[in-house]
Structure 1
Amino acid sequence: MSDSPADLPPLVLGEAPRGGVLSPHYRWISIGMCALIMLSAFEALAVTTIMPTISRELDGASLYAFAFAGPLAVSVVGMVLAGAWSDRGNPRNALFASVALFVVGLLIAGLAPTMGVFVAGRLVHGLGGGALTVALYVIVARVYPPVLHPRILAGFAAAWVIPSLIGPLIAGIVAESVGWRWVFLGVIALVLLAMIMVVPVMRSMHSPAPGADRPPWDARRIGWAVLVAVAVLAINLSAEARGPVQWIIPVVAVVVAGFALRPLLPVHTLRAERGLPSVILLRGLVAATFFGTEVYIPYLLTSQFGLSPAIAGLALTAAGLTWATASWVQGRFPGISHLATIRIGVGLMTIAIAVSLATAVLALDPVVQIVGWAFAGAGMGLMFPRLTVMTLEYSTIADQGFNSSALSIADSIGSAVALAATAIAFAALEPAGGAWPFAGAFAVTGAICLVALVLGGRVVQGRGRGAPRSH
């Protein structure tokens, strides 16, 4: 009997378990979603690897950090839209729309004649990427039984293995041979191939019953998301300002962003209340630590140590491998407590940041940096899937979209704000020359990591699980 997508029964909400994530009932949806994660991972790793080359060719050094932070900021809008769309019914359409924006963004970036146009493409890509993440999380919650959540989320992390092994190297080689533009244009064909696998399965995924309650579109929440994006973009652009304005803009923008974030997150998230609020906050802190540091590592290795983009990308390869391995470990051994995985993960991140700072200040061998960054990947591999699992555990079907959206918003805003802070530190220390600007950036992310270390224990509620509250 054939087990192609067309021959399988529809995926209905609330079904009983039917084997593992690769059993006939879940096989194609699992493969399709992991393929999309893999391509998203390849794009992320590729951009980080070749951005020094792009910046140099398009004379866009002033927009280096913004090219990373901008997409993260606008992704918040995509996340909110995808979360609301999913809560109102079927997340399928949100997934299709997000993939379309993803492809358009890659096309604009790949054909960009200037750094400004390139950044515009990155913004479109960020809008689609944010929606894609939320849609996939909601599909996991709707399709898979809770017992399979750790396995499929571990599969998402494992989908980083191939991009981690060959992504940075291939991106570096392509940039050095036929040009960096083909790194973006080539991914488009692969995304379309992945959608060929996904579309048949998504068509068979049923929406809730017609009579089910559907929350209305919340225009205010979308407006708050836009305001957050604008404020975070302003923080990042302030790195290029001079004089008092360079410090006034970030302060005002941080206040505005904090105020606008409140309706987009569970109640008391910014106060680190125990349970779901601290899970969301911690996710933002560890994402800020990791991604705020990682974007500068290839830059450090190419500019200060003279490595080629392909060789500098080995640091990303090492981190991706350890991320996937650690994620497999936590999925394989679910008996390891959430709290233990988080404490170990933040500890590994602390080691990695310390190594990065020492490499910049003491001009250590580049191999030390490459190996040291592998500790950061291992820490993220332990924490990221568990924080997602905890979010789903604290959620009901009525707020899966909201909480999944909040989790992704924390990822993006935490990373974007960290990139803004590191860009300001980098610009302030640039007159000192040498590796000091990089040391300043790593010191900022190190301070964020210490905050995560202090707050890590608050993800578990003190007395009883209770029902998480959200706006």
Structure 2
Amino acid sequence: MNKNDTTWKHLFSNGNGLKTITLALGVMLHATNVYLATTIMPSIIKEIGGLEYYAWNTTIFIVASVIGSVVSANQMGKSGPRKAYQIGILLFSIGVLVCSSAPTMYVLLAGRFIQGFGGGLLFALSYAMIRLIFSEELWSRAMALVSGMWGIAAFSGPFIGGIFAENGHWRMAFGVLLIFCIFLLIISSRTLPKIKNQERVSPIPYLKLALLGLAALTVSISSIQKDITGSLIGICTAFFLLVLLVISEKKSKNRLLPTGAYTISTPLGTTYSIMALLTIATSIEIYVPYFAQIIDGLSPLQSGYLTVLIAIGWTLSSLLFSGLKENRVNKVIPIGAFIMLLGLIGLCYFSVMASQTFTIKLILTCIFLLLIGIGIGMGWPHLLTKVFSLSPSGEEDLASSSVTTVQLIATSFGAAIAGLVTNFGGITHPGGIIGTAQASVYLYGSFAVAPLIAIILCFLLKMNQSK
């Protein structure tokens, strides 16, 4: 069968149907959990407290997801595809049970870590097993379907979370995920292959994962310090840990990112930096539901769907601008970053303006959130392409996996920094509507710096490539 002759029907025929559903549901489970948790977090805070740890839920979850995704190749080599996938499901299920029964924020954070680790395994294995399960002519279709599960999750996550949160049953929202886990465990036992990889199993970079996790956690710890000195010490410590990570990467053959990724003066290093900055800028979305509920009085369901506007704009923009010719790529990336900058400045400005009506403010908020998503989506496919083309020969597989790694790392640090900014902005002290409104201004205003720096780096990248 020629690659161009394949249709969606081929992906679901000849015994491929259940295999396709299994991998797609693995990604959907992980993605739905991301949006569901963001939607119900304000309700969780109301019941068990821990507002100062709000951003920790995302940071810890994403750090654990990074660890899970990095460990996935090693786990699949040792246990085989089916068992590795089922280990991911079981870990995720345990995390769901811990979260749904959490009496305090500390227990919830432990559950979120377990969820993240299991979800990271599922997320990475779902993509990795496409090459094992399907013939090559079906890879692009399978990859598109699995990636498309994020779009479905953008609607299912806020819907499930919002419905239960509005009725005072946020714990049951996690319970729904458990039903999906049981179903996925059953069908995976019938569809996924058992055979183990006979090639050499890649070792797990324990030291690098530890340094990465500790750096993100240190930023989160600095966010709850009562004085600026303690926060600065935490930030400096996190920076030192990242320096150690970079040093260990340069001296190691078992790397997280391709050669040249850590040198900003190189085109590859500049490209990764732009990706990280734009991803960090989108981290404001974790506080959008809380701001909407406290400041504007929206319901959990309504505020949950505000969150996904960035994701919707990102997806639609990526599809629309993905077919640009090479001579336009270097222009569209900085333009997209500028649109993100406008979105963040707009959110910041109208957070302090009390003159507009609720309806106008809501419409403008939706527009600005969409602009942030549209801005990153315009250049994202082309940034990924640059990573693949700029990576050294022989490191193609590492370049492919590094995209997810960089995105997850940037998200975890973005969440940690968002927690630091909002806590100092007054979200807990004085708290309430006044403190939350003040924190929103701090958050949107400070995060506007990320796309601004990205614009500067875009011109630096253009100059480096023209030499």
User: Is the contact between residue 339 and residue 372 of structure 2 (CA under 8 Å) also seen in structure 1?
Assistant: yes
Per-residue deviation, 1:247? 1.4
For residue 443 of structure 1, the aligned residue among 437, 442, 445 is 445
Per-residue deviation, 1:42? 1.7
DSSP 3-state at the match of 2:258: coil
How far apart, CA to CA, are the structure 1 residues paired with 2:257 and 2:401?
Answer: 8
Percent identity over the alignment? 22
Per-residue deviation, 1:155? 3.5
User: Is the contact between residue 158 and residue 325 of structure 1 (CA under 8 Å) also seen in structure 2?
Assistant: no
How far apart, CA to CA, are the structure 2 residues paired with 1:300 and 1:24?
Answer: 46
| Aligned AA (2:27) | I
How far apart, CA to CA, are the structure 2 residues paired with 1:396 and 1:146?
Answer: 24
User: Is the contact between residue 100 and residue 172 of structure 2 (CA under 8 Å) also seen in structure 1?
Assistant: yes
Which residue in the other structure is 2:306 paired with?
315
Which residue in the other structure is 1:226 paired with?
210
Which residue in the other structure is 1:272 paired with?
264
User: Is the contact between residue 316 and residue 377 of structure 2 (CA under 8 Å) also seen in structure 1?
Assistant: yes
Answer yes or no: is 1:462 the counterpart of 2:462: no
Considering fraction of residues, name the structure with more helix.
2
Compared with structure 1, are the counterparts of its residues 170 and 128 closer, same or farther at alpha carbon in structure 2 (3 Å cutoff)? closer
Per-residue deviation, 1:182? 1.2
Per-residue deviation, 1:33? 2.8
Higher deviation after alignment, 100-109 or 279-288 = 279-288
Which residue in the other structure is 1:378 paired with?
374
Which residue in the other structure is 2:230 paired with?
245
Per-residue deviation, 1:64? 0.7
Compared with structure 1, are the counterparts of its residues 126 and 114 closer, same or farther at alpha carbon in structure 2 (3 Å cutoff)? same
User: Is the contact between residue 78 and residue 129 of structure 1 (CA under 8 Å) also seen in structure 2?
Assistant: yes
Compared with structure 1, are the counterparts of its residues 399 and 20 closer, same or farther at alpha carbon in structure 2 (3 Å cutoff)? farther
Compared with structure 1, are the counterparts of its residues 347 and 95 closer, same or farther at alpha carbon in structure 2 (3 Å cutoff)? farther
Which residue in the other structure is 1:452 paired with?
454
Higher deviation after alignment, 100-109 or 382-391 = 382-391
Which residue in the other structure is 2:44 paired with?
54
Instruction: State the number of aligned residues.
Output: 442
Root mean square deviation, CA, Å: 3.6
DSSP 3-state at the match of 1:240: coil
Compared with structure 1, are the counterparts of its residues 81 and 166 closer, same or farther at alpha carbon in structure 2 (3 Å cutoff)? closer
Cα deviation 1:339-371 (Å, max 9, x = unaligned): 466445434322322222123222451221123
Answer yes or no: is 1:356 the counterpart of 2:358: no
Alignment of 1:337-352 (within 5 A): 339=330, 342-352=333-343
Compared with structure 1, are the counterparts of its residues 268 and 354 closer, same or farther at alpha carbon in structure 2 (3 Å cutoff)? same
How far apart, CA to CA, are the structure 2 residues paired with 1:460 and 1:80?
Answer: 34
Per-residue deviation, 1:74? 2.9
User: Is the contact between residue 286 and residue 307 of structure 2 (CA under 8 Å) also seen in structure 1?
Assistant: no
DSSP 3-state at the match of 1:160: helix
| Aligned AA (1:126) | G
Compared with structure 1, are the counterparts of its residues 359 and 84 closer, same or farther at alpha carbon in structure 2 (3 Å cutoff)? farther
Which residue in the other structure is 1:259 paired with?
244
Which residue in the other structure is 1:174 paired with?
164
How far apart, CA to CA, are the structure 2 residues paired with 1:98 and 1:272?
Answer: 35
Cα deviation 1:5-64 (Å, max 9, x = unaligned): xxxxxxxxxx97484473425753444333322232221111111111101110111211
| Aligned AA (1:103) | S
How far apart, CA to CA, are the structure 1 residues paired with 2:330 and 2:420?
Answer: 34
Which residue in the other structure is 2:403 paired with?
407
Cα deviation 1:235-254 (Å, max 9, x = unaligned): 10111112322211221122
TM-score, normalising length from structure 2? 0.81
User: Is the contact between residue 82 and residue 405 of structure 1 (CA under 8 Å) also seen in structure 2?
Assistant: no
User: Is the contact between residue 327 and residue 385 of structure 1 (CA under 8 Å) also seen in structure 2?
Assistant: yes
User: Is the contact between residue 11 and residue 138 of structure 2 (CA under 8 Å) also seen in structure 1?
Assistant: no
Which residue in the other structure is 1:162 paired with?
152
Higher deviation after alignment, 372-381 or 250-259 = 372-381
Answer yes or no: is 1:99 the counterpart of 2:89: yes
User: Is the contact between residue 289 and residue 418 of structure 1 (CA under 8 Å) also seen in structure 2?
Assistant: yes
Per-residue deviation, 1:324? 3.2
User: Is the contact between residue 81 and residue 192 of structure 2 (CA under 8 Å) also seen in structure 1?
Assistant: no
| Aligned AA (1:38) | M
Higher deviation after alignment, 452-461 or 223-232 = 452-461
| Aligned AA (2:234) | I
User: Is the contact between residue 137 and residue 404 of structure 1 (CA under 8 Å) also seen in structure 2?
Assistant: no
Alignment of 1:67-86 (within 5 A): 67-85=57-75
Alignment of 1:4-23 (within 5 A): 17=3, 19-20=5-6, 22-23=8-9
Cα deviation 1:255-285 (Å, max 9, x = unaligned): 2123215523223323235454444433322
Answer yes or no: is 1:326 the counterpart of 2:317: yes
Higher deviation after alignment, 402-411 or 249-258 = 402-411
TM-score, normalising length from structure 1? 0.81
Cα deviation 1:361-416 (Å, max 9, x = unaligned): 22451221123212223334445555455555667997566444433332222122
How far apart, CA to CA, are the structure 1 residues paired with 2:35 and 2:94?
Answer: 19
Compared with structure 1, are the counterparts of its residues 201 and 460 closer, same or farther at alpha carbon in structure 2 (3 Å cutoff)? farther
Compared with structure 1, are the counterparts of its residues 397 and 90 closer, same or farther at alpha carbon in structure 2 (3 Å cutoff)? farther
Compared with structure 1, are the counterparts of its residues 407 and 324 closer, same or farther at alpha carbon in structure 2 (3 Å cutoff)? closer
Compared with structure 1, are the counterparts of its residues 462 and 44 closer, same or farther at alpha carbon in structure 2 (3 Å cutoff)? same
Higher deviation after alignment, 341-350 or 386-395 = 386-395
Which residue in the other structure is 1:4 paired with?
none
User: Is the contact between residue 267 and residue 464 of structure 2 (CA under 8 Å) also seen in structure 1?
Assistant: yes
User: Is the contact between residue 101 and residue 124 of structure 1 (CA under 8 Å) also seen in structure 2?
Assistant: yes
Per-residue deviation, 1:302? 1.0
User: Is the contact between residue 83 and residue 404 of structure 1 (CA under 8 Å) also seen in structure 2?
Assistant: no
**Where do 5+ consecutive residues of structure 2 fail to align?**
250-255
DSSP 3-state at the match of 1:366: helix
Compared with structure 1, are the counterparts of its residues 404 and 201 closer, same or farther at alpha carbon in structure 2 (3 Å cutoff)? farther
For residue 219 of structure 2, the aligned residue among 208, 215, 235 is 235
How far apart, CA to CA, are the structure 2 residues paired with 1:335 and 1:453?
Answer: 20
How far apart, CA to CA, are the structure 2 residues paired with 1:451 and 1:90?
Answer: 44
Per-residue deviation, 1:425? 2.0
Compared with structure 1, are the counterparts of its residues 317 and 253 closer, same or farther at alpha carbon in structure 2 (3 Å cutoff)? closer
Which residue in the other structure is 2:278 paired with?
286
**Where do 5+ consecutive residues of structure 1 fail to align?**
1-14, 465-471
How far apart, CA to CA, are the structure 2 residues paired with 1:350 and 1:144?
Answer: 41
Compared with structure 1, are the counterparts of its residues 273 and 90 closer, same or farther at alpha carbon in structure 2 (3 Å cutoff)? farther
Compared with structure 1, are the counterparts of its residues 415 and 174 closer, same or farther at alpha carbon in structure 2 (3 Å cutoff)? same
DSSP 3-state at the match of 1:288: helix
User: Is the contact between residue 350 and residue 446 of structure 1 (CA under 8 Å) also seen in structure 2?
Assistant: yes
How far apart, CA to CA, are the structure 1 residues paired with 2:274 and 2:74?
Answer: 23
